[in-house]
Structure formats: C-alpha cells, structure tokens
Amino acid sequence: MVRTRFAPSPTGYLHVGGLRTALYNYIFARKHHGSFVLRIEDTDQERKVEGAIENLIETLKWTGIIPDEGPGFGGDYGPYIQSERLELYRRHAEILLEKELAYYCFCSQERLERLRQEQIAKKQPPRYDNHCRNLPADEVKRKLQSREKFVIRMKTPLQGSVEVRDLIRGKVSFSADVLDDQILIKSDGFPTYHLANVVDDHFMKISHVIRGEEWLPSTPKHVLLYEYFNWKSPEFAHLPLLLNPDRSKLSKRHGDVAVESYRQKGYLAEALINFLALLGWNPGTDREIFTLGELIELFSVEKVSKAGAVFNLGKLNWMNSVYIRSMDINRLVELAKPFVPQHFYADENKFKEVLSIIRDGLTTLSEIEEKAALFYAKQIDYSTREAINILRKESARKVLSTLLENLSGLKKLDGRVFIEVMRKTGMETSCKGTELWMPVRVALTGQIHGPEIVKIVEVLGREEVLLRLEEAIKYADE
C-alpha cells in the first residue's frame, strides 16, 4: 500500500517549493491508489508561529491538494501534529539508549561553540567530536542524578560508509566522516527533526518519502535509525532544488516564495499547480498544459530530473493567462469577485460579459479591476495627451457629432445595428479606418487601445454610449 506524506514545519506560510513537494507526494499517492498524509513537524519550539498551521491548511485546501489524513482530515495514524506525540519520541530515544546506539551528551553550549570555532580556524568542517560517546556509566548516572542538562545523541559509524537508495538518484554513498553523532532529543526534551521524522514515518506506515534535495544529507542518518530500530526503511526520492533565474537557490530576495502571495496576486490554483508540476518533471513531450488528473496519469517518479529547476515567472504568467482564457466563464466570475469592488458584479450578467471581453488580455485576476473599469466608469477621463490629440481633430468632432445624431433616433442598439450606423457615419463624414473608429474608441473609453469597440458598445448599451459621446464632444469643445 503506497502511503506518502507532506511534512512541513509551520513557519507562517507555504513555500512554493513545499507546495511542489506536497504535489508530487499527492500525485504519487493518487497514481498508486494510496494515501497522502499531512503531518505537521512543529518540534522546533523557537520557530513557532501563531496561526501557522491553520494558514497552511487553508492554503493547501485552496490549491486543491487535499490530504487523505492529517490534522482536521481524520485518519487512523494520528495525532498528525508532532508536538502531540512527544511521549512516543522519548520512548524511542530510550530504546536506542538501552541498545547503546545512542548516548547522553552533557557538553555545554560554550564547549560546543569553542569546538566549532577551533574547527573553523583549522578549516575543518564543524562537527561534534564524540566527547561524551564513551563516558563511563557511573559518571553518566551521577550527572543525571545531579540534573545536569543533557541531550541524547545517536551513534553513527566511526568508519565505512552509509548507502542511501534514492528513486531519482540511484545509490548515494555517504562516508562516515561526514556523519555527525546527531542529536535526537534536545535539552528541552523535544525531539529533533531526525528522530521525530523517522519514528513518525514508521508508525504512520509511510512507504515513500518524497522531499526536497536539501534533506538528502540527512537521509543516511535516517537510514541508520531505521536499522537501529529494526524497521523497514521507506523508499526515498529527493526532488531537485528550485532555482532563481541566476541558478542560485530560490529565495525571497528574488521574488515571492509564499503560495499565499501568488494567491493574493490573482494566480489560479490550477495554473500554479500545473507550473510547479513541471519544475523537475516533464512527460517527455512539448505539452505544457495539464489538469491534475492528467498529471496523475502521466507522472512517474523515475522521470524526475536530478538537475535544479528554474522558477520562471514568465512561464507561470503565461500559464495563468491560458487558464484564465479557457476556464468556464461562470467560474471566472466567482474567482474574479474578490478582486473587484462589489458594484462591478451587482449586475452579474454585465460582469460576465465584461469578463468575457477582457479575459484574453489578462495575466492575473488582480488586473481585472483596472481592465474592467471602463465599463463601470461614471466619468471618462479625456485629459490624457493621447485622448486630447484625437478628440480635438476636426475630423473627430465631425465623426462624433454625426454618430451621436445617427444614434439618437434609434430605439435599440446592438452590435449589428452599431456597425450599420458606423458605416453610415463614415459615408456622411467621408472618414474611414482609424480616422473613423479611433475617435469613437477614445470617446467611449478615454483610451486608444482596448477591447473591440462593437463589444464595448454592446455591454454599455444605448444610454451610456450616447452619454459618453456627448461628454467627449463637450470636452473637445472646451
């Protein structure tokens, strides 16, 4: 039975890299008819952020990557929040102490800091020197009795190497020299990530650990822990790093990394998911637009690349515009509402028409307010230089007043009728092409670019068209 998990630390926001990890885990579980688990790794008390868990779950729900098990989602392997499982970790640290695969370490912060400085000065990689690894049992007992502060460390091999089998990278070997005697229980009694992660993956029956490449160096320690407990290790797959365009590791300095800010800026969950799915994986063709269902069908973890994947905002923008253009219009109406003032959708049919006219030119939902404004303006701004230049032309005055006259007599105005009237206006004024159409565009919108005029006229309706023509003529006369 395939069981995967997403195990974020609640830092206050969901990182786009985290969402990619969640997505790959989700897709993999779905593909193999397994379960996808959300586990909150909150054992680092110093990094605790109020409301972070709720925010994370809310954001995950928005993306549509919904866990089968997790806090608030039910499941038989809970609790799914590590701070509610502390007893389990302590018990397992005890087991390793009894097996002499772990030991108490009483080294003070000062000693460790001194050691670190010395190693740095000698240009050695900083690591624990195993000072407490062989303390005599009676000394340990005495220190514990006198309540000296301690941590519990795992023993790592003093020589040889530890091998990690990775579904993406194959066999990766780590020499014993790079394996520190890792702390398992901190002096505050909380477990470190390493112990809690392994214990939970075991008890939550996780079959595949799919996570970012930055965790690969920790994996040999995890492999050792599985051995020490006599547990079967899950399979591992380490996903390539996400990179800035300059190929440095994706960071806030280069742009947004919080999924929440993409949401606020009007990116669609489907587009973001589609985009992230292709950061590190592709189906081997040029195709780029996929539904989640198609991704599940096509995905294979073996095809995930080893090389870092560049987070290309231009590509995300393009995908977002594709999704906006092609989505169901009623859904677009709903998604657009939070991005515009309420009076825009007081008449929902009008809002729908407006959206269907402007959607082709949108990159994000947050552009809707500006692009739709011309359909809701109480007054058009004709004061820009380009508008003035057009309206004050002699031919423009002629076109606008003739058009106004021709329209005034009509009862009803639709696109077809408008084209007829424009033809007549053109003949009467001997204007054609831009000379004929541009003044009308400017009179109706104040701008020289925009959606098709006939469509604008259809949405505005007869009254509003007449009003704007009058206003424009007045402005040109001033």
Cα separation, 370 vs 205, in Å, equals 51
Q: Which is nearer to ligand GLU, 9 or 401 (CB)?
A: 9
Structure tokens at 35: 């379960």
CB burial readout 454-469, b (16+ within 10 A) else e: ebbbbbbebebbbebb
Determine which one of 123, 171, 232, 252 is catalytic: 252
Nearer to ligand GLU, 233 or 364 (CB): 233
CB of 57 to ligand GLU, least distance (A): 15
Least separation in angstroms between CB 222 and ligand GLU: 8
Q: Which is nearer to ligand GLU, 7 or 453 (CB)?
A: 7
Q: Which is nearer to ligand GLU, 41 or 180 (CB)?
A: 41
Supply the minimum distance, in Å, between the C-beta of residue 46 and ligand GLU: 14
CA-based nearest residue to 280, from 63, 28, 67: 28
Q: CB-wise, 153 or 221, nearer to ligand GLU?
A: 221
**Beta strands 3-6 and 35-38: pairing type?**
parallel
Of 285, 263, 276, 122, nearest to 212 (Cα)? 276
Q: Rounded to whole angstroms, how far apart are CA atoms 60 and 16?
A: 11
What residues make contact with ligand GLU under the rule CB under 6 A?
A: 7-9, 41, 193, 197, 211, 215
Please report which residue ranges of 278-347 form alpha helices under DSSP H. Answer: 292-298, 313-326, 329-336
Long-range residue pairs from 211-217, CB within 8 A, at least 24 positions apart, any chain: 211/7, 211/21, 211/237, 211/238, 211/239, 212/17, 212/21, 212/238, 212/239, 212/241, 213/238, 213/239, 213/240, 213/241, 214/241, 216/164, 216/166, 216/169, 216/172, 217/174, 217/178
Active-site residue, 315 included: no
Beta carbon nearer to ligand GLU, 25 or 429: 25
Residues 189 and 55: beta-carbon distance below 8 Å: no
Q: Which residues of 380-406 are buried (b: 16+ CB within 10 A; e: fewer)?
A: bebeeeebeebbebeebbbbbbbbbee
Write down how long the chain is.
478
Q: Compare residues 193 and 418 and give the one whose CB is closer to ligand GLU.
A: 193
Q: How far is the CB of 44 from ligand GLU (least distance, A)?
A: 9
CB of 14 to ligand GLU, least distance (A): 11
Cα angle for residues 419, 423, 425 (degrees, 5° grid): 115
**Cβ atoms of residues 242 and 277 within 8 Å:** no
CA separation for the pair 206, 378 (Å, rounded): 60
Which residues, other chains included, contact 438 with Cβ-Cβ below 8 Å and sequence gap of 6+?
A: 390, 396, 448
Nearest distance from residue 215's CB to ligand GLU, in Å?
5
Preceding peptide of 79 cis, ω within 30°: yes
Return the SS3 of 252.
Answer: helix
Alpha-carbon span 93 to 123, nearest angstrom: 33
Q: How far is the CB of 216 from ligand GLU (least distance, A)?
A: 10
Nearer to ligand GLU, 18 or 426 (CB): 18
Report the distance separating Cα 358 and Cα 374, nearest Å. Answer: 11
Is residue 195 within 8 Å of residue 92, measured between CB atoms? yes
Q: Which residues are catalytic?
A: 252
